[in-house]
Structures are given as C-alpha cells and as structure tokens.
Structure 1
Amino acid sequence: MKEIVTVQVGDFANFVGSHFWNFQDELLGLAGNPSADSVFKNQDLNMDVLYRTGETQQGIPSYTPRLLSINLRGSLGSMSSRGTLYTEVASTTPDVVTWTGRVSTQASEPYKRNLFLQRLYEEEESLNMINEIRGSNNGSQSEYEDKDITECLENGVQFWTDYSKVHYHPRSLYELNGVWAHVEEFDNYGIGRDSFAWAAQGEEIGDRLRFFVEECDHIQGFQFVVDDSGGFSAVASEFLENIVDEYTNIPVLLYAVQGSGSRTNLQSRKRAVLEDLHDAVSFSRLSSYCKLIVPVGLPSLSKSKASRFLHIEDAKHYHSSAVYAAALHSISLPFRMVPVGPTADACSVSGAVDVHGVVQMLSGQGRQNMVSVLDVAMPAPALTGEQNELSLLEILQPLTPQIAEDVEDMQAIEHMTVHGALASEGHRASVGEVKDTVDAAFRCANTRPMFCHLSVALSPLPIPLPFPSIFGNNVGQHGELMSGQITNSSPKGSLDIHSIPMAARLRSSSIVLPLLESKLRNLHQFGIQRGAAGAELLRSWGFGQEELVEMEEMLSKMVAALHPPQLSSDSD
C-alpha cells in the first residue's frame, strides 16, 4: 500500500479540507450501509491510503485521517485541539513556578455546538449506550430534523469545524502559538514570517508530521493544501523547507487555495501593491519547495463558468470551499484506486496512478513545467442525450485564476478523472463507455493535448448532510441534468441531491502563462526595480535584494519554459 499524508495550512485550506474529509467519511459509511446504493459497495478504493487505524484510550478501534492541520488559535470553534476521540481534562490552575505575585486568569466562554454537531454528539452517545447494553436496539431519536440542520449550517457557519463530521487524531489539529483568529491581522506574507519561528514551533509540528510518516509502509507523497491569501503561505514555506530537507525523495503535490473575494475590492494603491507582492512572493516560495503546484481559487466563483449548474455565494467560504474540495476529491481518486488488470471494463475503476506518477507526468516531460491548472465539471453531463449541450471536455471549466483562453498548446499534458458518469437514460455508464466517449471527444476536438491520462471510477461524489445548498434546480437527485423550465428558484442541497457525477482535470499547459507573467511583472515592478513602491515593504518582511533576484530568476525560468519555440526567420 502507498499512503498519503495530507497537510492543511490556514483557515480557508481547512474549510476545503473539512468538505474533503466529509466526502471520504460519507464513502466509508455508504460502503458499510446495507441499504445504500450498490455502486458504493464495491468501490475498489483503498481508503487506507488516506486513513490510519488506531485505538482510543478505552481500547476502541479508531479510523482517522492521516492529517496534519495547522491554523491560528481559536480557529477550531467548539472542537478541542485533541479532536473528539480522546478526552482531555484541562487544568484551571496554572502552574507558575517563577512568579510569586498575583495571578489572574482571563477565560472566554467556549463556543457552543450548533445543531449539526449536537446531533452528531447525541448519535455517538446513543451508539455507545447501545454497545454497552447488548440486546437493546432502541437508540434515542434526535429532536433535530435534517431540514433544521441544513438551514442552521447555511446561515451560521463560522468555523470549518462547524460542518465537520469526521473524527480526528489528537496529533492532527495544531494551533499556532501567539496569534489568535478573528483578533489579529494575519493577512500578508511578512506577518506570517514574523509570527512563525521554526525553533519555537517548527519542531513540534515536525514531530507531529513525523508521527504520521513513520507509521507508513510506503508513503507515495504529501498532499498539501495551503491558504494562499494571507500569512499562512509563509508558515507553509518554512514548514516545506524543512520537509524537503528531511524527506528528499517524497514528492509534494501542493494546492495553493484562495477563497472567492479574499482580495480587497475597493483598495488603495498601497494595499494593491501589498497584495500583488504577497501573491508573487508566496507563489515563488511555495513553488520552490514542491514538485507540482496547483493554484486554485477564482476571484468570483459565482460568476465563473464553473458555476453553470451551481448557486454560489462568494462571501461564504462554506460554499466556495465545497466546490474546490469536490475537485480535489475527484482528481485524487486515482491515488487510492485498487490497480486492476487490462480487462478493466468489468471493474469499477481504471487508470490507478500514484502521486509520483502524476507529478512526473505533468512536470517531468519536455518543458519541466511544475504549474498545473485545475478544471472541474460539477456535475458532469451524461455521456449522450439531448439535454447535453456540451461534451464532457467542453464543459470542464478552470478553477485556476488568470489563465489564457483558446490557446493551442501542442505540448500540453493532462490528467483527467471521471467518476459516477451517467449514460443517456440515467443509467450509470460503464468504465469502457466513459473511455470510449472521452476518446471520441478528443478525436472531434479542435485542439488536443500531446498526452492525456484518463482515470475512471463508477462511484459518484456522495453528498453528505452538511454539504451546502448550492445546486441549481436543473440538477436531479443523482446529479442528472434536467431539461425544461424549473419554476422553483431556491437552490438544492443534500436533502434533494444524493450524489453527482464528476469530472476533474489537471493540465500542464502554456495557458498558465498570464498568471506567471503577472507574478513576475509585479515582483519586478513593485519590489526590485529602482524606486519600487514595495521595496521597503519587502525589506520589512525580511527579504534582501539577493533573495528577491533569485525569486525573479526562478519565475523567469518558469515563464521561459512555457513560451512556444520561436520559428526561425531565415528564408530560403
């Protein structure tokens, strides 16, 4: 088995991660539920790739994500930093040895569980009671209805833990010392760099990561999700630098995520320069410590083509993070597929590949491009049918910002995953039908990549109860796209949609050039050239001229690698 260790750094990264782990938990529950759809019973997915087995202090077996989550203090809401499986009795009397004066304690009221978390707690208590009293099958019925819970979440999510239905290991949740969420600003690279001292906190974080790595039999890679809209990118960079030194042969696949509207709309020139420099420095630093970086996060997801069948409120991280998490789930499915033989048509999966394989595929061929674009179709259309206006390839839309459109790149490399696809009459398509449809779409396409790796799975994306109500009214119970006029205007959620077919794609292509050129231009114009408006700002962040020039050279090489070869001007 090849395990993956996931690291989530920052608030929005953990919003994305909370949805991601809810999907995994839902798959696990459906696989063991006798009344669930049969497509979830034999998924041919090895969940041990993402999860670890253990045992609680009471000797009860546990199954928890192989995860390290890093965030500010006070960012966990009602959840303890030790998770929910292990009890912890906090001391109310501080043990102060060297101070002989009076001691006062300032304590804030703990956050109360919302309706969703209260019901989870009640169900766990009821299950424990049934296990203790054998022969009893009458658990207490929760007073909270599903509709009340979904409305509560739709209007009241403050923390990523508010909608998390997953148990976490005590070593998984780490809160940074000295910086409190919602109290202090943590909105640029310099603040993150100043607040994180590796000597003080890095060793503890490193020990926690080492705990998960050392129990792996054969780790295939690190899956990093980093909040790239504030100081967390500096924390991640410091952490990654040490990871690369310690785990030299383990590839890092990094998703740099930003919530919609995370940048200031009405901003002063000073604020604009700060944000542009932050983005340039953050991208340069993060990309230098990973094998493949995937920028994820549109300025307005609600106005993008990716939301064609969705109703997104950009101001709600609860909404946008659900879409990004669904894409990450889909594109990472091949990492945990059980490998099958050449006769895959009778199987439920095809195209298994590990992190190293995807990284080599997208960054190690030809141009050595290490930046990838993430596309998604949510939900994916049926393979055939009158209601399907666009083909599967045409409906995939980018979640990566600042990319070029309608660019023909003969050297493009793609890795695509399609799962839970529907055939013409609502029936699920077989693995072979999906592969034939994608092949036919490529033959008819105006442009096609130099190489495309396709992974297919039969199991769709399950929609757990705490998923937001973001689906349009033309989306059916199983993600089918319905034609005709729908009068009801309220968006659908988990009470109406049980699962959806998905398609996601990573592209190594020159379409990412505008994003790279923008970061290179901003770094030079605002930080390096003589009289640059942000030169003093970068010095306050701890960057010297030599380090900035190295960043500029690195970005220049990335841009040069993607430029098409110039045709010779010599004439006959």
Structure 2
Amino acid sequence: MKEILYIQAGSQANYAGTHFWNTQESYFTYGEEEDAEVSHGISFREGLNQKGEPTFCPRLLVFDRKAQFGTLSQANALFGVDEAAEEEQILWSGNPVEYKQEPVQKSRYQTDMEELDPDAGSASSAVQLADVRYWSDFNRMYYLPRTVQKVPDIPEWEDSEGNWTTGNETFTRYDEDTGLMEGPLRLFLEECETIQGIQLMHDTATFGSFVNSFLTSLRDDFVKLPLLSWPLLSDTTPSFHIGDDRRGIRKIINDALALRSLSELSSMTIPIQSPTTWTDELCSNTYMQASVCHSVRATFHSKFSHLDDISDFCAQLSWRSALPFAELGGQTQFGRRDVTRGFSHAGITSYNEWIYRSGVDASVISSSFPAFFSSAETWLPNTPPMVSLRPASTSVFSSIGVTSGTAGFFSDYAELLEDWTRRKISVENAGIDVDELGDLANDLWTLHDNAGGETYGGSDTDVRGEDEE
C-alpha cells in the first residue's frame, strides 16, 4: 500500500494541514474504489469506531498548544465520550469548589455540517476570515483520539516563539507523560503494511526545537525511514533590518537551528518562508501557501502518479547534489519536479513547449482538483447586484527544485549570525550562547558550500556566486 504518516506541529502548520485534509476528504467517492482519483489507504487508516462501523481517519499526529485546538478534542462523534463529561467524575468525597472556563463555541461552519445543511461549506455558511479563531474552525474531518496531541500551554508571560533548549525539554517531558513515541507513533507505524515514509510540516518559531527532539528520538529506531519535511519559517528573515531586537534575533536563531537540525534528520527539506515576506503580490498570502504545498503533497497518493513514493521524490531532486534541501521556484536548476493541476489542453501544450526549451530534466505530474472552491461575489449584466458565483476549477502550477539559489539562502543566515558573533550581540533566551552561535554560522556555511556556493573564504570575502548576486 505504501502508506504515509503525516505530522503537523504548530498553528500555521495546522492551518495548512486542515486545508489539506479537507481537500482529501472531498476526494472520497463513497462508491466503487475504481471511481476514486486517489488511493485513500495511503493517507487514511481504515478501522472501526466504537459501534463497530468502518471508518477512514487520517494517519496523522497533530501537535499544538492546548489552547490552540479550539473545539477539537480527542473525543468525537465516532470515538469516545466528551472530555468535559469525564472531568465531572470527581472521586473526592468533599465539597469541591469548581471554576470552569467557558467552553469554546463551535463555529458556524461546524454547526452547519452537524445539522447536515446541504450548503455547508458554501458561501452562505463558509467561515469568514473575521470569524476564524482557531485552525479547527473549518475542519471537516474526524480524527482518531491518538491523532490529537495537546502540548501544555505556556505561561502568559512567556513568549511562544521560544527558547531552543526549553522546546527540547518540553518534548522530553511530554513524551514521558504521554508515552508518545512508544504509543501513538509506534502504533501508527506498525499498522502500515509497507510504509513509504513520513511527511512533516511544522512551525520553526514555536515547534522547531520540539520537533528536533522528536526526530532525534525517531531516528534512534527508524534510521532509514524516508522523511520529507516542510518547515514553515518565522516572519523574520536575514534580509529584514531587525537591529538588536531580541525577539527578531531569537526568531532568526530558531530558524537557523531548525534548518541545521533538518539537514541531519530529514531526507529532503523544503523550507517555506512566511507569506508575509514574499514579494510576489499574487502569492503573498496563506491561501497560496496551502495550495502550492498541497499540490505537491497530493501527488504521493494519486493513482496517476508515475513517481511511486517519497523516496523516489527525494532521490530525483538530489541526484546531482548531496544537499537534502529544495525550494519552490529558484534560479539555476539542477533538478526539478513540476505539478500541474487543472490545466487546459492549451495550457499543457504551452507548458510542454516551455519545458522543452528549458532543457531541465523535470518530472511532470498532472493532478486534478476536487470541487472545493469558495464562492465569489461579482457584478453581472442584467442580473441583481452582487451575484454569488462558485468557480468550477482553477489552474495551479507548483515547482520544487534543487537550485543555486539555496546557497544564497544559507549564506544570508550565516553572514548575519557571524555579524552577531563578532559584535557579541546578546542572545539571551535563545537557548544558545555566543560561542555556539559561531558554530551554527560555520555549519550554515558548510550547507552553503554543499549547495553549490563558492567556497567560504572568510567573513570579509564575498562568497556568493554569480547566480546569487
């Protein structure tokens, strides 16, 4: 079957992940298997609920702070009783004084679905941006209880984009308290017939060090298991002028530490910078981020994909480079994988002509979209004003490549870290000291060199190649 285990950690990753799983749910035909466009067993686990009824639930571990889950709990209509009801079973015989927090109210979107509103999810009931409080507000899926992993909240006076050492310690305590690695994780993996690998998406600012410890523990038992990671970097980049802003410094350091960690623990890493830092107006929003990432991820469980699994995907991208990093778009390309979705015949013809002229050996995957689009209000002639229309389809092109631009990506971080080391900038609460900051900069220079950048010749030397100027 070549199953995939998915892992999401952090609110931004779970926003994107919720879009991904909603879309996967919309592919279900609930009829003959040959009618489906995807192999559901790759991403979904088939099992029985408490009533003995067959169910399909995502093969997924979801991590976030407890307060960020909203109404999503380990118990749901398919599995278990309500958590609040369990809490009412007090074993003490005295007279307790209870102080209960108001339960989170369900979103309108969720309420409509529960009432079996045929228009649930359409323009009349879809979640509006102003109404979104949590990533679970527009969730359409039922999850296994072990999917939901609620990490304890941090005190209000602490910054959620935190200390690298503290995040590692948080994972150790969480694993000891919940039996995560020997319980939910191992059970998911052992249920698979022939697992092809893990797909990971996480916020580096809030869960970078937590995931670092998670993957380190994972590699103790599963050394060769393919792992494709999508780290969502913070909203601060080396190109920003952050001066001596401690919060900005900590974000940069967390991102750099996460990238170094993934270079050792992941088979292939595709860093995604925050949409707020993107310069292309067309793509500078979270919707395009989710769409682009989903388009690439969806090919692994498509019936029409001729690239079989995560291992092949990683091997194709790294055949000319040992560096386990790729990027969306890029400059001079050494290997590329393209995904087209919803292209017309004319669009496919134009694409084929372009790919022929480029001379790059690219693997092309064609994949369809389900009917899963928001309605748009527009003016039409001879009709009442502001008629709602739902587009039938749209076209999306995603390209993942190993390129020369990756070298410049690492040198930007390395140069800034070197500058802070020389000036002995305070890295208080970042989880490392100034000496470790210098070691981190050297490691990033090594990644820069492995990515095809010019050999590092010292802090006063321009190390960028012609493609990066």
* TM-score with structure 1 setting the length: 0.69
Distance 2:180 2:273 in 1: 27
Question: 1:243 maps to which residue?
Answer: 218
Contact 2:58 2:143 in 1 (8 A): yes
- Closer, same or farther: CA 145–500 of 1 in aligned 2, 3 Å: closer
Distance 1:265 1:8 in 2: 30
Distance 2:218 2:406 in 1: 27
CA deviations on 1:31-60 (whole Å, 9 max, x unpaired) are 3489xxxxx984542121100101111112
Distance 2:288 2:148 in 1: 23
1:81 deviates by: 2.9
Distance 1:328 1:565 in 2: 30
Contact 1:65 1:168 in 2 (8 A): yes
Once the two structures are overlaid, the 10-residue window that deviates more, 206-215 or 6-15, is 206-215
1:186 is aligned to 2:160: yes
1:246 deviates by: 1.5
Question: 2:299 maps to which residue?
Answer: 334
For 1:364-379, list aligned pairs within 5 A: 365-375=319-329
- Closer, same or farther: CA 142–371 of 1 in aligned 2, 3 Å: closer
1:82 is aligned to 2:75: yes
Distance 1:145 1:196 in 2: 37
1:369 deviates by: 2.0
Question: 1:165 maps to which residue?
Answer: 140
Question: 1:440 maps to which residue?
Answer: 353
1:15 deviates by: 0.6
Question: 2:459 maps to which residue?
Answer: none
Distance 1:353 1:213 in 2: 19
Question: 1:414 maps to which residue?
Answer: 336
1:55 is aligned to 2:48: yes
Question: 1:463 maps to which residue?
Answer: 372
Task: Give the one of 199, 224, 230 matched to 1:255.
Answer: 230
Question: 1:136 maps to which residue?
Answer: none
CA deviations on 1:516-563 (whole Å, 9 max, x unpaired) are 11121233322x44x52035444xx15684x55553343222111223
1:76 deviates by: 1.4
1:21 deviates by: 0.3
Contact 2:13 2:202 in 1 (8 A): yes
Contact 1:413 1:507 in 2 (8 A): yes
Q: What's the Cα RMSD here?
A: 3.7
1:286 partner letter = L
Distance 1:462 1:13 in 2: 23
Question: 2:411 maps to which residue?
Answer: 517
1:95 deviates by: 4.6
1:73 deviates by: 1.0
Contact 1:417 1:455 in 2 (8 A): yes
Question: 2:249 maps to which residue?
Answer: 273
Query: What percentage of residue pairs aligned between the two structures are identical?
Result: 18
For 1:112-151, list aligned pairs within 5 A: 112-123=105-116, 146-150=122-126
Contact 1:293 1:372 in 2 (8 A): yes
- Closer, same or farther: CA 69–83 of 1 in aligned 2, 3 Å: farther
Task: Give the one of 65, 70, 79 matched to 1:72.
Answer: 65
Contact 1:82 1:171 in 2 (8 A): no
- Closer, same or farther: CA 94–235 of 1 in aligned 2, 3 Å: farther
- Closer, same or farther: CA 565–533 of 1 in aligned 2, 3 Å: closer
Question: 2:460 maps to which residue?
Answer: none
Question: 2:451 maps to which residue?
Answer: 562
For 1:37-52, list aligned pairs within 5 A: 42-52=35-45
- Closer, same or farther: CA 292–498 of 1 in aligned 2, 3 Å: same
Contact 1:51 1:63 in 2 (8 A): yes
1:498 deviates by: 3.4
Distance 1:158 1:178 in 2: 17
Question: 1:20 maps to which residue?
Answer: 20
1:564 deviates by: 5.5
1:78 deviates by: 1.7
Distance 2:320 2:119 in 1: 60
Contact 2:208 2:254 in 1 (8 A): no
Gaps of at least 5 residues in structure 2 are 456-469
SS in structure 2 of the partner of residue 107 of structure 1: coil
1:473 deviates by: 7.2
Question: 2:186 maps to which residue?
Answer: 210
- Closer, same or farther: CA 41–305 of 1 in aligned 2, 3 Å: farther
- Closer, same or farther: CA 553–265 of 1 in aligned 2, 3 Å: closer
Q: How many residues align?
A: 447
1:241 deviates by: 0.8
1:177 is aligned to 2:152: yes
Task: Give the one of 342, 350, 353 matched to 2:308.
Answer: 353
For 1:448-527, list aligned pairs within 5 A: 448-449=359-360, 451-457=361-367, 459-463=368-372, 496-526=390-420
2:112 partner letter = R
- Closer, same or farther: CA 248–101 of 1 in aligned 2, 3 Å: same
Question: 1:37 maps to which residue?
Answer: none
1:323 is aligned to 2:280: no
SS in structure 2 of the partner of residue 295 of structure 1: coil
CA deviations on 1:181-237 (whole Å, 9 max, x unpaired) are x88531134375266141443562212111111100111110000112x22111111
Contact 1:22 1:164 in 2 (8 A): yes
- Closer, same or farther: CA 297–553 of 1 in aligned 2, 3 Å: closer
Question: 2:4 maps to which residue?
Answer: 4
SS in structure 2 of the partner of residue 255 of structure 1: strand
Distance 1:489 1:153 in 2: 21
1:299 deviates by: 4.5
2:337 partner letter = H
Question: 2:102 maps to which residue?
Answer: 109
Question: 1:362 maps to which residue?
Answer: 317
- Closer, same or farther: CA 199–300 of 1 in aligned 2, 3 Å: closer
Distance 1:168 1:235 in 2: 22
SS in structure 2 of the partner of residue 356 of structure 1: helix
- Closer, same or farther: CA 61–543 of 1 in aligned 2, 3 Å: farther
1:77 deviates by: 1.0
Distance 1:173 1:231 in 2: 18
SS in structure 2 of the partner of residue 500 of structure 1: coil
Distance 1:212 1:56 in 2: 16
- Closer, same or farther: CA 113–534 of 1 in aligned 2, 3 Å: same
Contact 1:257 1:297 in 2 (8 A): yes
Distance 1:17 1:496 in 2: 23
Distance 1:500 1:66 in 2: 28
